[in-house]
Homo-oligomer: A and B are copies of this chain.
Amino acid sequence: MSDRIVGILGGGQLGRMLGAAAALLNIKTIILDVGETGPAKQVLAPTEPHLSHIDGSFTDPARIQELAARADVLTVEIEHVDADVLIHARCETHPSPATIKLIQDKLAQKQHLQSRGCPVSDFIPVDSTVESVHAAAKSLRLPLMLKSRTLAYDGRGNFVLRELSEAQEALTALGDRPLYAEKWVPFTHEIAVMVVRSTTGEVKSYPVVETVHKENVCHLVFAPLRTRDATLARRAQHVAEDAIKTFDGAGVFGVEMFLMADGALYINEIAPRPHNSGHYTIEACETSQYENHLRAILSLPLGSTALKVASAAMLNIIGLSSSMKEINALTDVALTVPGASVHLYGKSECRKGRKMGHITVVAESDAQLRSRLRVLLAALPTSPISETDLYAPEEPRPGSGFSSAHPLVGVIMGSDSDLSVMLPAAHILDHFQIPYELTIVSAHRTPDRLVEYARSAAARGLRTIIAGAGGAAHLPGMVAAMTPLPVIGVPVKGSTLDGVDSLHSIVQMPRGIPVATVAINNGTNAGLLAVRILAAGMPRLIDAMETYLKNLEGEVLGKVEKLKEVGWEIYSAK
């Protein structure tokens, strides 16, 4: 472990979570921020006088110098520090002061990324005149994003110019800060990747997450990203890693990106520190972003960034007023939600728009995650946002006859004439409360749909597919050829050959591509096999299946008793 003292500029919630990670490793830490007992200082009581925290601003050169003199390594929990003082502080600083300075200026950040071949949308500098704004709008078209180059966060310092006539209003709203203009990006989703970079330049990505913003503030984060595009997650990680490799210094970086309808990615901005979109890593990953930030800046080995749960979400707790009343009501509800972990930041006062805490939810499946999250969202006092389906009315329940929006099992068949064979599979999944979708995919009549369905299944979060088909019965095997998921084949009996044609078509797959074949017309067993397969990742289903088997046994033993009681002649006459 390291004996070096870490000086942190900033003592808010990110400093608090860094501090909690430092305490676990006995890493000595000094916080620089205004006040005696901010969020970070609360969880790090100094054990010796030379580790006492500093009461002062992280933008005050004298205080930064004091911290640099007492610490061995400096880092930031907020990038709006005095980077020039850090450059001259003669203390190892991560990320490098030059990186912090570069990132502070959003125009310089964009120019840097563009010059290194990283995907960014078009932008141009503007000066604070109406003419300059008009020229930018002419070049980049309307609507146009006008942005402050510095001190902008959570949407503050942004103005969306929809008409040329709004130029003066925009300049007034953005004040006298230096500006630049950015081409409007009609993204479909916002995503983010946390990247940790060691002092030797090694980089590791965390899973790609979807971020949902509300009034420009991060509201919800979902991990991992679900998508129909099987290549997206890897592409996004590469974009993020390539971007971070262009910056000096170690630590965790947050890379926010826009995802376009055609799958293209643009980097929106980069945070040179742990990030709101990585809070979920505390409960959901093998090493949290906070511990990995400390490991990186102290030249310790980087930790595993792998998810240790199937599905996770993070909900920010934002102040509504000076009262904690609404927040207490929300966290009281959170205590009733399995898998929910409440993080309150110990801030001295609540204010409208202030981040007061967050709640992480983990679950065994996306559907379970969303049903857990819905309880929290229903307890939010604020109005719904449109960006997510979570505020829509309750999703179809198992047994309603409609597909789940977040299925674990896909039940597909070649023709609606197979429905009577396949419905028993659906009923079994209803019985075990497994979210599934049920639809028609014909290998021979909708081959393109077959390819799209099979190729996207794993990236959409499905864990197994039940496919029923009769006759030449190619559906199960063709799906299995285009997905890494286990495919269960149900041979459907046609009007000739007694279903043996379907059975042999489905079971006799060549070496390399298995189909898990069940008995002819036995949709029930296909459903039960899907449940057994899911149990490999959801141990509670082992108990549920034991109970099911016990009940089967009980049914037959009941018949044994009946037979004994009434005699076989009466029994068989009934």
A residues apposed to B, CB below 8 Å: 1, 20, 23-26, 37, 41-47, 286-287, 295, 300-301, 303-304, 306-310, 328, 331-332, 335-336, 338-339, 341-344, 346, 348, 357, 362, 458, 463-464, 481, 484-488, 503, 507-520, 522, 524-526, 528-529, 532-543, 545-546, 548-549, 552
Contacts and interface: CB of A to CB of B under 8 A. Distances in A.
Contacts of A552: 512-513
A344 B511 contact: no
A432 B304 CA distance: 20
B509 A519 contact: yes
Contact of A486 (B41, B344, B508, B533): B533
A486 B536 contact: yes
26 contacts: A20-B23, A23-B346, A37-B47, A42-B45, A286-B338, A286-B362, A295-B335, A304-B339, A306-B540, A458-B546, A464-B536, A484-B548, A486-B532, A486-B535, A507-B519, A508-B520, A510-B519, A512-B549, A513-B549, A513-B552, A514-B519, A514-B526, A516-B518, A517-B517, A533-B536, A537-B538
Contacts of A513: 525, 528, 549, 552
Nearest to A306: B338
A516 B516 contact: yes
Nearest to A291: B341
Contacts of A362: 286, 308
Nearest to A305: B338
Number of copies: 2
Nearest to A491: B507
B26 A484 contact: no
A514 B542 contact: no
Contact of A485 (B41, B332, B535): B535
B343 A24 contact: yes
A538 B25 CA distance: 29
A300 B533 CA distance: 37
Contacts of A488: 516
Given A515-B518, A533-B536, 18 more contacts: A1-B331, A1-B342, A25-B342, A37-B46, A37-B47, A42-B44, A42-B45, A44-B45, A303-B335, A310-B539, A458-B542, A484-B546, A486-B533, A486-B535, A514-B526, A517-B518, A536-B536, A536-B537
A320 to B, nearest CB: 16
A295 B337 CA distance: 13
A368 to B, nearest CB: 11
A511 B525 contact: yes
Contacts of A295: 335
B525 A509 contact: yes
Contacts of A549: 481, 484, 512-513
Contacts of A542: 458, 484-485
Nearest to A459: B542
Contacts of A23: 20, 42-43, 346
A460 to B, nearest CB: 12
A286 B301 CA distance: 27
Nearest to A333: B301
A228 to B, nearest CB: 15
B507 A529 contact: no
B1 A344 contact: yes
A47 B42 CA distance: 7
B508 A529 contact: no
A535 B338 contact: no
A334 to B, nearest CB: 9
Nearest to A27: B344
A328 B25 CA distance: 10
A484 B552 CA distance: 13
Nearest to A556: B512
Contacts of A343: 24
Contacts of A342: 1, 24-25
Contacts of A529: 486, 514, 516
A465 to B, nearest CB: 10
Nearest to A332: B1
Contacts of A509: 518-519, 522, 525
A539 B20 CA distance: 29
Given A47-B346, A308-B362, A484-B546, A518 B528 contact: no
Contact of A507 (B46, B484, B517, B524): B517
Closest 9 CB pairs of A and B: A537-B537, A484-B545, A516-B516, A514-B525, A304-B338, A486-B532, A45-B45, A514-B529, A26-B344
